[in-house]
Amino acid sequence: MSDFIRQMALQLGFSFCGISRARRLDEEEPRLTKWLKEGRNAGMGYMGNHFDKRLDPRLLVDDAKSVISVLMNYYPGNRTGFASPYKVSRYAFGTDYHFVIRDKLYQLAQRIEEKAGAINYRVFTDSAPVLDRAWAVNAGLGWIGRNTMMITRRHGSYFFIGEIITDLELEYDMPFGGNYCGDCTRCMDACPTGAITGNRELDAGKCISYLTIELKDNIPGEFEGQTDGWIFGCDVCQEVCPWNRFSLIHQIPDFEPSGNWIEWSRETWEQLEKPVFEEMFGKSALKRAGFRKLKNNITFAGHSKRKL
């Protein structure tokens, strides 16, 4: 059954699939507690909610026995010809990954039920109190790097993560052993705002992804000249990671750019109006920031660049 699940996951377009036993992640509790206590979650108060559920999937799915973890590649390479002076994280180039991954996970669950009979399950992709990266490690898929990203030895870190938590008992993969960042500090050295403060330590309040997406207010003036033209998310710590030299270009049509915005000039971005935003980014992850926030990010980035 476990082999069948892995095969079906690959057929559906997932890059990797691993399975781990549902349990409480006791080893993650001290790190999560410390991160929250120090306020490193910044304005993301929800990260402190459902603390026990975040550590124990058995509180999310009754009688849960297995966590099926999947990775899906979204690396676009250089084929998109991104030419805009304002930068958007690669993960947001196409259709919002929540929709794509969730649909694929439901398809996978349906295949499982066709073979195993009715099961109790829920699907997740960055949408509930689940420690996605920790479960990917437990499923043997990779390790959590110095920049807090989940890294695979075969193809780097440009992956979305999803899970099916189920009451189906399966054969489990060995957790990934070791950490292959070594003494490399390229991600720390390259981070424009110094958000990576140590090994697997991220100060979200300084992270450009947080500042341009999660932060509801305008970006504080102290970061002027530091956001490096990013208006939604940031890929710097992945761009400099040596493991991403092994990244392969994705084969998922849904992740292709949703329009010609990748070639927009600075003036086109700055003149963006809400109807065009809705038309161009209606199915994109950029909707998470919203029109007003994106406009504020563009203004901030433009002002910073002109001052530089």
Neighbours of 269 (CB within 10 A): 20
Instruction: Give the span between the Cα atoms of 143 and 163, in whole angstroms.
Output: 17
Catalytic annotation, pick one of 52, 103, 126, 189: 126
Run of H or E residues at 38: none
Neighbours of 146 (CB within 10 A): 23
Q: What is the DSSP letter of 47?
A: G
Has 103 been annotated as catalytic?
Answer: no
Residue 15: phi and psi, rounded to 5, are -85, -35
DSSP-derived secondary structure for 254-295: GGS-SSGGGG--HHHHHT--HHHHHHHHTTBGGGGT-HHHHH
What is the chain's Cα-based Rg?
Answer: 20
Instruction: Give the span between the Cα atoms of 213 and 192, in whole angstroms.
Output: 16
DSSP-derived secondary structure for 84-139: -SSEE-GGGSSB-HHHHHHHHHHHHHHHHHHHH----EEEESSSSS--HHHHHHHT
Instruction: Give the span between the Cα atoms of 181 and 150, in whole angstroms.
Output: 11
DSSP-derived secondary structure for 143-165: EE-TTS-EEBTTTBT-EEEEEEE
User: Would you please indicate which residues are annotated as catalytic (active-site) residues?
Assistant: 126
